[in-house]
Amino acid sequence: MIYQKQIEKLINDLRQSGIEDERLLSAMQKVPRHLFVAKGMELQAYEDKALPIGFGQTISHPSTVAQMTQALKLKAGEKVLEIGTGSGYQAAILCQLGCQVYTIETVRPLALQAEQRLKALNYTYRFVLKIGDGSKGWPDKAPFDAIIVTAASPASPAHLFDQLKENGRLIVPIGHRENQVLTLFVKRNNQIHKTKLKHLRFVPLKGAHGW
């Protein structure tokens, strides 16, 4: 395979950076990231950097995808809401992990492209995609075992806590447009426990609860 050495290097780098979830590393090894980047950028697909995918959006660093996913401690069969489908790469990782994925994208062309990619990779029965305002969550499909927000939120998304199951986890970058803190929320005994993880930068979340 043309990308085999790049994939092996990426997985090794992720492991050395602290990604210990072997199921996650296996999923990232199997999902072909080069199919989720813009044409002409395939050779950069396995470098640890964000790449533009059009419409002012990006595909996140592989290390960011790994860190966010690992923090959720997902199990096969869990029901996960993704806010911000983008290219569909994060959704593909969630599907590969055996989760039932509900994903929302506000940019219609991106959503349609992502849907085609996910179906081409045989994840048809693992995901449901909706075009709309993801910042509101997906109340009709709640509650979820986990929620992952792949765009920068201006404030703590308290309105999403009711969409979590008991022991549910929510991960979201919170802060200013230029700098956010990746934050994990866990719901236990109907109380929300908050942990700040790291500083990073995402594209802004759009919608009623976004920018």
Q: Dihedral sign, CA of 200, 14, 85, 108? A: positive
Structural Rg of the chain based on CA atoms: 16
Domains identified in the chain, total number: 1
With respect to residue 209, please indicate whether it lies within any of the assigned structural domains: no
With respect to residue 114, please indicate whether it lies within any of the assigned structural domains: yes
Contact 187, 165 (CB under 8 A): yes
Those residues of the chain that have pLDDT short of 50 are none
CATH of the domain at 29: 3.40.50.150
Is the whole model's pTM more than 0.85, yes or no?
Answer: yes
pLDDT, one tens digit per residue, over 88-110 is 999 999 999 999 999 999 999 99
With respect to residue 95, please indicate whether it lies within any of the assigned structural domains: yes
Cα atoms found within 13 Å of the Cα of residue 105, Cβ hemisphere only: 22
How confident is the model at residue 128, as a pLDDT? 98
With respect to residue 207, please indicate whether it lies within any of the assigned structural domains: no
The interaxial angle of helices 4-16 and 22-30, nearest 10 deg, is 160
With respect to residue 72, please indicate whether it lies within any of the assigned structural domains: yes
Tell me if residue 26 is catalytic: no
For residue 160, give its domain range: 4-200
**One-letter amino acid of 205:** L
How confident is the model at residue 14, as a pLDDT? 98
How confident is the model at residue 178, as a pLDDT? 85
With respect to residue 211, please indicate whether it lies within any of the assigned structural domains: no
Q: Which of 60, 87, 135, 153 is catalytic?
A: 60
How confident is the model at residue 41, as a pLDDT? 93
With respect to residue 206, please indicate whether it lies within any of the assigned structural domains: no
With respect to residue 125, please indicate whether it lies within any of the assigned structural domains: yes
